[in-house]
Amino acid sequence: MKKAFLKIIILLLITLNGRIMAQQDPMYSMYMLDKMLINPAYTGSSNWLVGTLKYRQQFIGFDGNPVTETFNFHTPIQKRHIGLGFKIINDKTAVTNNLNASLFYSYHLNFAGGKLSIGLEGGIFNRRVDYPKLILTDPVDNSIPLNAMSSLVPDASFGIYYQKKQFYIGYSDYHLIKKNFNYKTTNETQSRLYNHMYLLTGKVFDLSEKWAFEPSMLLKYQAAAPLQLDVNTLLSYHDRIAVGIQYRTGDAVAALLKINILENLRVAYSYDMTISGLSSYSKGAHEIILSYGIKLPPPPAEKEIHPRYYY
């Protein structure tokens, strides 16, 4: 375990010094239930005002494993065909802590028999590194700062999202501003956020009056990380309870359970079983969502996409 943890610390330090690029955004399994987190164009695209709390703990069994806490809110302004929202993400891995706070704006228009949405996200990204908590082989290492340091940079993202009846597809590009983190140290390097691109598509099939089936997939691209594909299936009963499974290439298989406790109160849980080389050390990942929504009446000239599936 100590050797495995040391490897994580070494990789973490290399990443902080900007010598390599890797996946920087938090990992989520249940993004299909909270699409705003991976595409700002989804903001306010349904007839629901929604607030969501999310907690995820990944690579359980490792000291310093990633823990992500998220709160987001979005609502349509129907008379103006826009959506507004915000998010706060607190993501901690080992000695690093990333805090991302953003505002969302989206514009929706009728297009080809469906709804086309374009969204922007803008805010701040603060990265804090708690150097004193590092486990050092050499207690006297002048290259390691003695105090915790943080750096604040602006952040912006863009997305486009289209939905027609029960089909949807969206593309988003995150971290468009290329500004280096500045920790004000003598050995300052070119550490910054790198673009993350997401392509999401899926469709809801009504199997009967009671049952619905939703296959979807998410393609994730980051220049220095392997291309990753998530394949998802979700089976819903009366839109009150749903079970699903996800396969994430090179990483994990996840099981999902969603329960609508009330018409506007939803809880969901997923468990990831690691299938990568870390499977001998990691006990997987847990993710929990608590979401509350208020359904708004659609404008007279606008067709409702679906009463519940796009909550």
Does the CA dihedral 6-58-231-203 come out positive or negative?
A: negative
The strand pair at 285-295 and 48-57 is best described as antiparallel
Per DSSP, which regions of the chain are E strands? 48-57, 67-77, 82-93, 96-111, 114-129, 149-164, 167-174, 196-203, 205-206, 211-221, 228-237, 241-248, 252-262, 265-274, 285-295
Please enumerate in sequence order all residues whose Cβ is within 8 A of that of 209, keeping only pairs 6 or more positions apart, or say none.
none
Give the model confidence (pLDDT) of 20-52 as tens digits: 345 578 989 999 999 999 999 999 988 899 999
Distance CA 297, CA 220 (A): 34
Q: Average pLDDT in the 47-70 region? A: 90
The pTM of this model reads 0.85
- Spatial distance between the Cα atoms of 160 and 158, rounded to a whole number of angstroms: 7
Rg (Cα) of the chain, in Å, rounded? 20
Cβ burial, residue 114 (10 Å; 0-12/13-18/19+): middle
The pLDDT of 118-126, averaged and rounded, is 97
Helix (H, G, I), strand (E, B) or coil at 125: strand
> How do residues 88-120 score in pLDDT, each as one tens digit?
999 998 888 999 999 999 999 999 999 999 999
Task: Tell me the per-residue pLDDT of 205-224, one tens digit each, with 9 for 90 and over.
Answer: 999 999 999 999 999 998 87
pLDDT at 248: 95
| Residues composing the chain | 311
